[in-house]
Chains A and B, each alone.
Chain A
Amino acid sequence: MVEQSLYPNYPKDLEMVITTNQVNFFYGLTQALFDISLLIPAKHVTALIGPSGCGKSTFLRCLNRMNDTIPHSRVEGEISINRKDIYAPGTDVVELRKEVGMVFQKSNPFPKSIFDNVAYGPRIHGEKNPKRLAEIVEQSLQQSAIWDEVKDRLHANAMGLSGGQQQRLCIARALAVGPKILLMDEPASALDPKSTTRIEDLIGELRTNYTIVIVTHNMQQAARVSDYTAFFYEGRLIECDATPKIFTNPRQKQTEDYITGRFG
């Protein structure tokens, strides 16, 4: 299942949920991604690291087709999730995004109540039963470790929460749709150290049930939370391996230079 020549340190029976094959991405005439071929294992945390502008966020946004909203952008190559090409004509983007949730760098709760924030996803997908909605909301808030803090004020405006709470609420909102994969774009970069720790702990808890792809600037964070790490540089995938291997004994010189802080 795993191409052992490319991924010598991956366990043989690892199931790959996302596979990308020679992906190029263009913003107008500017090419942002070059030939990215990457396998992402199910129910593990994969970190995408690299200096600013290396294309890691662009790549992440290709995985749920959020780049579709950018005018004059173009994707080449193949991205498959569960063996289905997500850029094939006729792909239902709504279904894709139900399957692949996303958490953004800056927490972005809707200016609605906490309950309505979490219930937003299920509601747009047709869930009307109030009892069922309440169950989903509670379950999602439990999963994102914020239930105890907000259970007494579910109908208060979400904008009144702290930054860290808002980000966990956004994770709950993403989970409420029932995704299998969670994309996180620097989810803790705007948070204080304490809130960051909570988010990292949360990622640790979620990894048993979800496939998580996390973009991070913070190499210690990548080392702490991820099982596998992919290093991007100038729009290219330089190296991808088990996280301990990348941080102790990378194969590529560029990776080593980056993680030892020689550039970036």
Chain B
Amino acid sequence: MSEKRDMSRSRKLFITDKLMRLLLVGAASTSVLVVCLIFLFLFREAGPFALNPGLGKLLDSQWIPVSFQEEHFGVGPLLAGSALVTALAMLVTVPISVLVSIYIAEIAHPTEREFLKPFIEILASIPSVVLGFFGLLVVAPLIKTTFGLSTGLTALTGALLLSLMAIPTIISLSEDALVSVPYALKNASLALGASHLQTIFRVTLPAALPGIVAAVMLGIGRVIGETMAVLMVTGNSAILTASPLSSVRTMTATIAAEMGEVPFGSVHYQALFWIGIILLVITFFLNIIAQRVLKKYGMMK
């Protein structure tokens, strides 16, 4: 009697166990599925462009998607715009974030650290549209007057805003990397008569470098993919240029600005999807490289 009840109980347990497992596996595989679907969907929408007018059209030197004469779908200027803004942003971001993370991880007094870290986290949580307002009202006029330009909406303006967004990400990840350098290494250096700063720059920083490189990669990924703030402050002219003080247009801003007005299924529409694919591939590879670096040096749990 009681044996039978035991049997049914263990059977019930077995079934709930199975069900639970199924549920969890299902939830976990959703993300994989979503990524695959996104790729599939992008290629489906963008696909016909490859046959007519052909992928070669993307290599045009101009982006003039609406025209009475001939339309041009050259991604070059947009790619250059994105690259210029990103490179400028990193030029500003990397030194600042690395120095700040060194300060927070190695030098700051615990109370200072407790004070600084929340501010950096708040910076990370500001919506990019709000940063865009700040860019339009404060940064753009500042750049306009400083450099005597006719407009303050430049690649540099965008880059400055983007660095505000990337700085918190890179700081927290680099700080993690610095803090996880074993205390034994720092002690060894100090015991050899190295000063605190010598220890930081010759032992701690090199040991944390892989983590910092990965942090910068993830920061670049975030900056390339950012849309709203750059759309608002870079001036949106698709010119092929390397000047920080010229207006540019990034890939993301192009998609955001033109998607709403483009006829569904048109060549222009498909071209925008190709930009999306290019963007996705870039961030995808940046992420993979960052993960690889982290894994190689055993910094990822």
Contacts and interface: CB of A to CB of B under 8 A. Distances in A.
Interface string A143-160: 000000000000000000
Interface in A138-197: 170, 173-174, 177
A228 interface: no
A64 interface: yes
B142 interface: no
Given A108-B182, A110-B203, A111-B207, A120 B192 contact: yes
A101 B191 contact: yes
Given A110-B203, A111-B207, A124-B198, A101 B192 contact: yes
B190 A104 contact: no
B193 A108 contact: no
B193 A66 contact: no
17 contacts: A66-B187, A66-B190, A66-B191, A69-B190, A93-B193, A97-B190, A101-B191, A104-B187, A104-B188, A104-B191, A108-B187, A110-B207, A111-B185, A111-B207, A121-B194, A124-B198, A170-B188
Contacts of A94: 193-195
A95 interface: yes
B27 interface: no
A102 B191 contact: yes
A125 interface: yes
B202 A124 contact: yes
Given A108-B185, A170-B188, 6 more contacts: A66-B191, A71-B110, A93-B193, A110-B207, A111-B207, A112-B206
Interface in B75-114: 110
A225 B192 CA distance: 24
Interface of B: 110, 182, 184-185, 187-195, 198, 202-203, 206-207
Contacts of B189: 110, 120, 124
Q: Contact residue range for chain A?
A: 20 to 34
Contacts, number: 63
A106 interface: yes
A124 B188 contact: no
Contacts of A109: 188
Given A66-B190, A97-B190, A108 B195 contact: no
Nearest to A125: B193
B53 to A, nearest CB: 54
A112 B207 CA distance: 9
A44 interface: no
A64 B198 contact: no
Q: Is the interface of B mostly helix, strand, loop or mixed?
A: helix
A177 B187 contact: no
Max chain A C-beta neighbours (<10 A), residue from B185, B192, B207:
B192
B190 A108 contact: no
Contact of B193 (A97, A104, A170): A97
A177 B192 contact: yes
Contact of A124 (B185, B194, B207): B194
Q: Closest 5 interchain pairs by CB?
A: A108-B184, A97-B193, A102-B191, A121-B192, A98-B193
A153 to B, nearest CB: 20
Nearest to A97: B193
A97 B203 CA distance: 17
Nearest to A66: B191
B192 A97 contact: yes
Contacts of B188: 104, 108-110, 170, 173
Contact of A174 (B185, B191, B207): B191
Interface in A52-84: 64, 66, 69, 71
Contacts of B193: 93-98, 121, 124-125, 177
A33 B194 CA distance: 27
